[in-house]
A and B are shown apart, each in its own frame.
Chain A
Amino acid sequence: MVYRYELKKLLLSPLLLTLTLLCVLANLTFLLVEHDNAPSPRQTNRPEDVLAAQDASIFDGYSAASIAESYIRWYRLEGTNAEHVRAKYDALQPVIDRKAAADEKPQLHFSGQVSDVHVLLFGKLLKFFSQEVGLLALLTALLSAVYEQMRGTESIVYASRVGRQVQLTKLWVTLSASAVLSLMVIGCSLLIFFALFDFAIPWQADVSSVFDHALGETKPFITWNDLTVAEYLWASLGISMGLAWLCALIGFAAGTGFRSVYAAFGACVLLFTAFDLVARSSLLPVGSMLKSAWGLNPMWLWKNSGTWFTDGRAEMLWANFERLGLCAYSILFASAVWGAYHLLRRREIH
Chain B
Amino acid sequence: MLSLNRVSKQYGNFMALEEIDLEFTQGVYALLAPNGAGKTTLIKMLATLIFPTKGEILWNGDDIIALDAAYRDLIGYLPQDFGYYRNHTPREFLRYMAAVKCLKREQVAQRIDELLDLVGLSDVRDKKMRKFSGGMIQRVGIAQAMLNNPRILILDEPTAGLDPKERVRFRNLISSLSKDRIVILSTHIVSDIETIASSVILIKDRRLFAQDSPGSICQQLNGKIFETDAVDDLDIPHLLLTERQENGQTITRFASEQGSGEARSVTPNLEDVFLYVYRDEER
Q: Which A residues fall within an 8 A CB radius of B?
A: 1-2, 4-5, 148, 151-163, 165-166, 348-350
Kindly list chain A residues whose C-beta atoms are within 8 Å of the C-beta of B96: 5
B131-151 contacts to A, CB under 8 A, are: 144-145, 148
Given A151-B84, A348-B51: A156 and B72 interface contact (C-beta under 8 Å): no
Chain B residue nearest to A2 in the complex (CB): B99
Which of A1, A158, A166 counts the most chain B CB atoms within 10 A?
Answer: A1
Give the docked Cα–Cα distance between A159 and B77 (Å). Answer: 7
Known: A2-B99, A153-B85. A159 touches B50 (CB 8 A): no
The answer, yes or no, to whether B66 is at the interface (CB within 8 Å) is no
Does B165 belong to the interface (CB within 8 Å)? Answer: no
**In this assembly, does B68 line the interface, its C-beta being within 8 Å of a C-beta of chain A?**
yes
What separation, in Å, do the CA atoms of A71 and B277 have in the docked complex? 84
Count how many chain B residues have C-beta atoms less than 8 Å from C-beta atoms of the other chain: 32
Residues of A within 8 A of B105 (CB): 1
Residue ID in chain B nearest A349 by CB atoms? B49
Query: Does the CB pair B69–A349 fall under 8 Å?
Result: no
**Most chain A CB inside 10 Å of its own CB: which residue of B81, B86, B102:** B102
Give the distance in Å from the alpha carbon of A162 to the alpha carbon of B100 in the complex.
Answer: 5
Across the interface, A160 reaches (CB within 8 A) one of B79, B86, B100, namely B100
Closest to A162 in B: B100
Interface residues of B in 95-111 (CB under 8 A from A): 95-97, 99-102, 105
Contact yes or no, B85 A151, CB < 8 A: yes
Bound complex: CA A148 to CA B49 (Å) = 14
Residues A157 and B100 in contact in the complex (CB < 8 Å), given A162-B69, A348-B49: yes
**Chain A residues within 8 Å of B44, by CB:** 155, 348-350
A158 (CB) vs chain B CBs: closest residue: B49
B47 and A159 form a contact (CB under 8 A): yes
Contacts of A350 in B (CB 8 A): 44, 49-50
* Listed A/B pairs (29) with beta-carbon separation below 8 Å: A1-B99, A2-B100, A5-B95, A148-B83, A151-B84, A152-B82, A152-B83, A152-B84, A154-B83, A155-B44, A155-B47, A155-B77, A155-B79, A155-B83, A157-B97, A157-B100, A159-B49, A159-B75, A159-B154, A160-B100, A161-B69, A161-B72, A161-B101, A161-B102, A163-B48, A163-B68, A348-B50, A349-B50, A350-B50
Fill in one digit per residue for B198-232: 1 if any A CB lies within 8 Å of its CB, else 0.
00000000000000000000000000000000000
A160 in contact with B72 (CB, 8 Å): yes
Establish whether residues A162 and B102, one from each chain, have CB atoms under 8 Å apart when the complex forms.
Answer: yes
Chain B window 88-125, contacts with chain A (Cβ cutoff 8 Å), 1 for yes, 0 for no? 00000001110111100100000000000000000000
Instruction: Say yes or no: B82 contacts A156, CB within 8 Å.
Output: yes
13 new A-B contacts at CB < 8 Å, known A2-B99, A155-B79, A163-B68: A2-B100, A5-B99, A151-B86, A153-B83, A153-B84, A155-B49, A156-B78, A156-B145, A161-B102, A162-B99, A162-B100, A163-B48, A348-B49
Residue B73 is within 8 A (CB to CB) of chain A in the complex = yes
Residues of B participating in the A interface, judged by any CB pair closer than 8 Å = 44, 47-51, 68-69, 72-73, 75, 77-79, 81-86, 95-97, 99-102, 105, 144-145, 148, 154
Q: Which of A1, A156, A162 contacts B83 (CB 8 A)?
A: A156
Bound: A105/B81 CA distance, A: 70
Contacts of B82 in A (CB 8 A): 152, 156
Ranked nearest first, the 10 interchain pairs of A and B with the lowest CB-CB distance are: A152-B83, A348-B50, A1-B99, A159-B77, A160-B100, A349-B49, A153-B83, A159-B47, A162-B100, A161-B73
A152 touches B49 (CB 8 A): no
User: Once bound together, how far apart are the Cα atoms of A154 and B44, in whole Å?
Assistant: 12
| Known A153-B84, A156-B97: A163·B72 in contact at CB below 8 Å | yes
Nearest CB in chain B: distance from A44 CB, A = 53
A237 to B50, CA, bound (A): 45
Distance, CA A37 to CA B146, complexed state (A):
64
A158 vs B95: C-alpha distance when bound (angstroms): 16
A151-B84, A162-B69, A348-B49 given; A156·B77 CB < 8 A: yes
- CB-CB < 8 A to B144: which residues of A? 156
In the complex, the answer to whether B97 meets A160 with C-beta atoms within 8 Å is: yes
Query: B48's closest neighbor in chain A, by CB?
Result: A159
In Å, the complex CA distance between A152 and B68 comes to 22
A160 to chain B: closest residue by CB: B100
Q: A156-B77, A156-B79, A156-B82 are in contact. Are A162 and B49 (CB under 8 A)?
A: no
Q: How far is the CB of A145 from chain B (nearest CB, A)?
A: 16
Distance between B138 CB and nearest chain A CB, rounded to angstroms: 13
> Which residues of chain B are within 8 angstroms of A151 by Cβ–Cβ distance?
83-86
Please, which residues of chain B bring their CB within 8 A of the CB of A156?
77-79, 82-83, 97, 144-145
Min distance, Cβ A278 to any Cβ of chain B, angstroms = 37
Q: Which A residue's beta carbon lies closest to that of B99?
A: A1
Complex Cα spacing A161 to B100, Å: 6
- How distant is the Cα of A151 from the Cα of B68 in the complex, in angstroms? 24
